[in-house]
Amino acid sequence: MAGKEKRRNAAALDGDEQRLRRKQEETALLLRRIKGFVRWVVEEVAAGRSPSIVIHRYRNYCSAADSASPSPCSCSYDAPVGTDVLSLLHKDSQTSRLNVLLRVLLVVQQLLQQNKHCSKRDIYYMYPSIFVEVAVVDRAINDICILFKCSRHNLNVVGTTSILLMGWIRFVEGEKNVNCMKNVNAASSIPVSIEAIKDLVSVAHYILVVEKETVFQRLANDKFCERNRCIVITGRGYPDIPTRRFLRYLVEQLHLPVYCLVDSDPYGFDILATYKFGSLQLAYDANLLRVPDVRWLGVFTSDFEDFCLPACCLLPLSAEDRRKAESIIARCYLHKEAPEWRSELEAMLQKGVKFEIEALSARSISFLSDKYIPQKIKQGRHL
């Protein structure tokens, strides 16, 4: 047993070293490409020419899908669906967009050269009169990622993450030891940089993603992980990039099933869909951020009757809820990849009601932890 453990540790160490070496090589290559691009732009301007660049447009879903549509949509996780040409020649919005891209790119070049990190808000305050708002910087970062065929983390532009983690897992993040197994019911914040993780160990049987921190705290208070070999994660609402990258990393490294628990309303469903299919804004990176095999554990519209919840737990769908649900139902990926999910959302619309995960507490304060989650996983009652 000791020999096997040593071989396992040696293999993990080799893997960590290989990943670090690959990261260094990717950074060096990206830096050379950025320098070459900037040099080309300077030479073009110096020669009196106006440099033009082509930015591909990506779309992982559209909202015009219809099973009766005569022609399929062109949405893809891999291939672009169009292009934008940015040039300094024409005095229009595209010129401003290229100007912003070049300024952000110079900041990225400096970050990579100095091996430093910053947030998009940091970048915004370097030229606030030109960038106007953080969203402009955000778009430029997307353009740079598409132009150089890389992801945001490759640019050393990072944000703070809101994710919480607990359960049967431990790892090293840089110089910091994160050992959730010392107290499986205590919350830990997860790393922003996946590249800093090494020595990942887990004895969990599955990963549970919950929509809200209140539900996460309910499970922690009930000592859910003490009685169930699992890892529990919450992105506190819509998941940010570090949350989605970390979840994808765990799935790839640990090969565990992932269950997701969200409110029975259109916004909970949209959060669930973001984990499985990715977001439209980051469509170019959806394949690296999404978790295609995530399983929808609940809560379902049908759970209200199945678990005999009181009528006072139900809330009527607002006009805004209905518009949101109708726009989600029209998304092409539900027609192509998840018809059962679409049917459940249609049932919600038809009944015109919604309810929150916390409504299960009407049965008993710990019903979610003691009965609902364990039973549904054991019985395979998920989509």
Annotated catalytic residues are 125
| End-to-end Cα, the chain, rounded Å | 39
- Tell me the C-alpha distance between 192 and 250, whole Å: 14
Q: What are the φ and ψ backbone dihedral angles of 53, each rounded to 5 degrees?
A: -130, 155
Beta-bridged to residue 82, according to DSSP, are: 57
Amino acid at 274: T
Q: How many CA atoms lie within 13 A of 166 on its CB side?
A: 22
Neighbours of 351 (CB within 10 A): 14
Closest CA to 274 of 301, 311, 241, 229: 241
Cβ–Cβ under 8 Å, residues 65 and 338: no
DSSP code for 71: S
- Tell me the C-alpha distance between 96 and 247, whole Å: 36
Per DSSP, the three-state class of 126 is coil
- Tell me the C-alpha distance between 124 and 138, whole Å: 9
Closest CA to 112 of 174, 24, 204: 24
**DSSP characters over 162-216:** --EEEESEEEEETTEEEEGGGSTTS-EEPPS-GGGEEEEEE--SEEEEES-HHHH
- Tell me the C-alpha distance between 365 and 132, whole Å: 48
Cβ–Cβ under 8 Å, residues 291 and 259: no
Q: Are strands 176-179 and 169-173 parallel, antiparallel or unpaired?
A: antiparallel
Q: What are the φ and ψ backbone dihedral angles of 308, each rounded to 5 degrees?
A: 50, 55
- Tell me the C-alpha distance between 347 and 307, whole Å: 17
